[in-house]
């Protein structure tokens, strides 16, 4: 397969491209939630995703917004109100995330994980 170029980076296969955008520990759990129900407030996401820090959640949300997977709507009120929703691009990742969830569940059973 030829080397793929996107945004100044080189990728050796399309899977690497997809993982660049939605891979890692937190992006898929965030996207999965935003695809199940929208919109979500920041605090709701923070409370629902066990183990994520404020810094990491804010960073991942910024990256997902920059890459067009989510939208961020800010309301001009005090205290600040911000809502996050999945875009069409974000919703397109749901099928992949669901397949990985299914595969993960299968691995848990196959490998006798607790």
For 62, the domain range is 26-110
Does the residue 36 lie in any domain?
yes
Does the residue 48 lie in any domain?
yes
In the Cβ-directed half-sphere of 66, how many Cα atoms lie within 13 Å? 10
Report how many domains make up the chain. 1
| CATH code, domain with 48 | 1.10.10.10
Residue 10: which pLDDT band, with cuts at 50, 70 and 90? confident
Residue 37 has pLDDT above 80, yes or no: yes
User: How many whole angstroms from its chain centre is CA 106?
Assistant: 22
In tens, the pLDDT along 93-108 reads 999 999 999 999 998 8
Does the residue 103 lie in any domain?
yes
Does the residue 104 lie in any domain?
yes
Residue 4: which pLDDT band, with cuts at 50, 70 and 90? confident
Q: What is the DSSP string of 46-76?
A: HHHSTT--HHHHHHHHHHHHHTTSEEEEEES
């Amino acid at each position: 397969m030829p080397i793929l170029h996107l945004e100044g980076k080189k990728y050796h296969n399309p899977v690497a491209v997809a993982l660049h955008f939605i891979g890692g520990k937190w992006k898929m759990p965030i996207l999965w939630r935003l695809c199940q129900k929208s919109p979500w407030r920041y605090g709701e996401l923070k409370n629902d995703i066990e183990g994520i820090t404020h810094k990491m959640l804010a960073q991942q949300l910024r990256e997902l917004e920059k890459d067009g997977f989510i939208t961020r709507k800010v309301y001009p009120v005090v205290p600040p109100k911000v809502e996050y929703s999945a875009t069409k691009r974000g919703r397109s990742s749901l099928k992949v995330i669901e397949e990985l969830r299914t595969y993960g569940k299968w691995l848990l059973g196959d490998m006798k994980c607790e």
